[in-house]
Copies of this chain bind each other. A is one copy, B any other.
Amino acid sequence: MKSALSQLGRRTAPPPVSWLMSTSLARPRLISLAAGFTDNPTLPVDEVRDLLNELLSDRGTGEPALQYGSTQGLPALIDLTAARIQLLEQKAGNHSADKERFADRLVIAHGSQQLLYLVTEVLCDPGDIVLLEDPTYFVYLGIVQSHGLHCRGIRLETDGIDLASLDKTLGNLKKNGALPRLKMLYAVTYHQNPTGTTTSFNKKQAALDMLRHYEKWACHPIYFFEDAAYRELGFEEETEPSALKIIGAAERIIYAGTYSKPFATGVRVGYGLLPQPVRDAVIRVKGNHDFGTANLLQHLLARAISSGTYDVHLKLVRRRYAEKADCMVSAIRTYFPDVVRWRKPTGGMYVWLALPRTVKTGLRSKFFARALDHDVLYVPGQICYAPDPRRPRPNHEMRLSYGNATPGEIKEGIARLGRVIGEWLVEESPRRLSLRPKACNGGPSSS
């Protein structure tokens, strides 16, 4: 008897993160620098308790919080979110942002993850194409894989995607008649997961110009999906406006943000600011998903923001991550050999490292197994690259997170990893000399 699963059901692969998680559970001494979990000691336990106490001490506010709401989201939270995005834009020098029009295009979701899912679902059929940063947010790759989409990776520079790489990719798709299948360019534009890169406004503008130029061969809008999940997690005041500043953004920019990572990941609330046809479709489909985001969570967030609690907490969280980033960077300086390349993060939760290209760091690599033997876990860089027929996935990088680990764990984890790298390089040098032809077989990666 065959399986009754749908094509999507059969196609959807287990996420690599679930394997990473189960691995960490099985090793009690393990230090995970892999998890995307957030910092425990700064979780706003007292603040959430007080806010919920207020909310639920009055039936006038408590009842609506425990009742169904509307699918697009709590009007008060939508208004606060619109005002918040407007303020972020103003701080970044964009004074044309209009709160009223933002509110008309907002949808609240169970985390920005749900928004990513809904947008992909309403835009992409199997066989459609999305452009992704090289490397990109690997959980998004799960959505892409599940929907049977084709990918093109766009080389990432220190200030965002390489425009020449984007142009060349679009030109090739045009030549092959594939532009009608291209739906969007997805980019994590602030303190990117996994590399920490922040995309300059100029690049966002140039990228959208380029997409619009090629639209005439697509015969439909090609959207720029700006995932701003880490926008509020910079260590300094953010100075780059979002793509919402671009003229015509209302028609082409899909903008996603989240309250979960900065506030509390157990409170899954994110949002999307969407072009009208996308928003209409997303709301219809979200109605089928869940009727709307849990009202209690939305009321909690609305109260956290309007009372100022959210902003006070945000300052604390940003300071905390800045300190833990410093801690990781300083440990890397101490314990890692100089051949390891990396950049100091300016926000977010991750450090991205490149080892010499001969060191394979993937999930099935001996190096990964060795690190596990030393009770330290990282995210292999390879899983952050979209499958792209034009290149093999680079396999010599890693993402390290200082999100959940304590400063002590960060230091010890980096020391362990430093030992693994050091030993590996020592063992490898003679092998490289004797096996040069074989070592070259895989070819250099394209990153």
Contacts and interface: CB of A to CB of B under 8 A. Distances in A.
Interface of A: 1-10, 12-15, 17-18, 21, 36-38, 40, 43-46, 48-49, 52-53, 56-57, 59, 62-71, 110-111, 113-114, 117, 121-125, 128, 139, 142-143, 146, 183, 215, 218-223, 264-268, 277-278, 281, 284-285, 287-291, 293-297, 299
Nearest to A115: B290
Of the listed residues A57, A266, A288, the one surrounded by the most CB atoms of chain B closer than 10 A to its CB is A288
Contacts of A183: 4
A146 B63 contact: no
A13 B281 CA distance: 9
Given A4-B123, A117-B289, 14 more contacts: A4-B218, A5-B277, A12-B284, A14-B287, A18-B287, A43-B62, A45-B63, A46-B56, A48-B62, A53-B53, A66-B267, A266-B296, A266-B299, A268-B294
A217 to B, nearest CB: 12
Copies of this chain, count: 2
A385 to B, nearest CB: 18
A48 B56 contact: yes
Contacts of A8: 121-122, 125, 285
A124 B222 contact: no
A52 B9 CA distance: 37
A48 B300 CA distance: 13
Contacts of A12: 122, 281, 284-285, 288
Contacts of A146: 284-285, 288
Nearest to A295: B266
Contacts of A125: 6-8
B9 A285 contact: yes
Contacts of A114: 289-290
Contacts of A65: 266
Contacts of A220: 1-4
Contact of A37 (B53, B68, B139): B68
Contacts of A48: 56, 62, 66, 296
6 nearest A-B pairs in the assembled complex, by CB-CB distance: A9-B122, A49-B56, A266-B295, A45-B62, A66-B264, A66-B266
A284 B145 CA distance: 11
A266 to B, nearest CB: 4
Contacts of A219: 1-2
Nearest to A22: B70
B45 A59 contact: yes
Contacts of A277: 3-5
13 contacts: A6-B121, A6-B128, A15-B284, A44-B66, A45-B63, A48-B66, A49-B62, A113-B290, A114-B290, A143-B288, A266-B294, A289-B289, A294-B294
Contacts of A15: 284, 287-288
Contacts of A37: 67-68
Given A8-B121, A12-B284, A143-B288, A49 B38 contact: no
Contact of A290 (B6, B69, B268): B268
A127 to B, nearest CB: 11
Nearest to A116: B288
Given A111-B291, A219-B2, A284-B15, A67 B21 contact: no
A223 B1 CA distance: 14
Contacts of A5: 122-123, 277-278, 281
Given A45-B62, A67-B43, A289 B113 contact: yes
A86 to B, nearest CB: 26
B21 A110 contact: no
B124 A6 contact: yes
Of the listed residues A4, A124, A183, the one surrounded by the most CB atoms of chain B closer than 10 A to its CB is A4
Contacts of A43: 62-63, 66-67
A236 B435 CA distance: 78
Contacts of A297: 294, 296-297
A265 B68 contact: yes
A45 B40 contact: no
A256 to B, nearest CB: 13
